[in-house]
C-alpha cells in the first residue's frame, strides 16, 4: 500500500463524496477520511497558509516602515 499524500486533497474528497450515493460507499469514504487523517491535514494546511500570509504581511509592513523610519536631518 502506498503512502497517502501529506496535504488535504479537497478535489479528490469532493469527487469521492459525489460518488458516495449509498450508505456503504459513504461509510467507505468516512473510513478513508479517518485513515488518511483528512481533518488533521486540512487543519495543518490552513495553519501553514495563515503563517505564510502573516509572514508576507509582516514583510510588507517592515519593508515600507523601514523607508518611513529613515529621516534625513538638515
pLDDT in tens, 10-58: 788 889 889 998 999 898 888 888 888 877 877 878 888 899 999 999 9
Burial code (b: 16+ CB inside 10 Å, e: under 16) for 28-63 equals ebeeebeebebeebbeeeeeeeeeeeeeeeeeeeee
What does 4-71 look like in DSSP terms, one character per residue? PPSS--HHHHHHHHHH--SHHHHHHHHHHHHHTTHHHHHHHHHHHHHHHHHHHHHHHHHHHHHHHH--
Q: By mean pLDDT, which of 6-10, 25-29, 61-65 is the weakest?
A: 6-10
Amino acid at each position: 500500500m502506498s503512502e497517502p499524500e501529506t496535504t488535504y486533497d479537497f478535489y479528490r474528497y469532493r469527487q469521492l463524496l459525489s460518488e458516495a450515493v449509498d450508505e456503504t460507499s459513504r461509510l467507505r469514504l468516512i473510513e478513508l477520511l479517518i485513515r488518511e487523517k483528512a481533518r488533521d491535514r486540512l487543519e495543518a494546511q490552513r495553519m501553514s497558509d495563515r503563517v505564510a500570509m502573516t509572514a508576507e504581511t509582516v514583510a510588507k509592513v517592515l519593508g515600507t516602515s523601514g523607508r518611513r523610519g529613515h529621516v534625513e536631518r538638515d
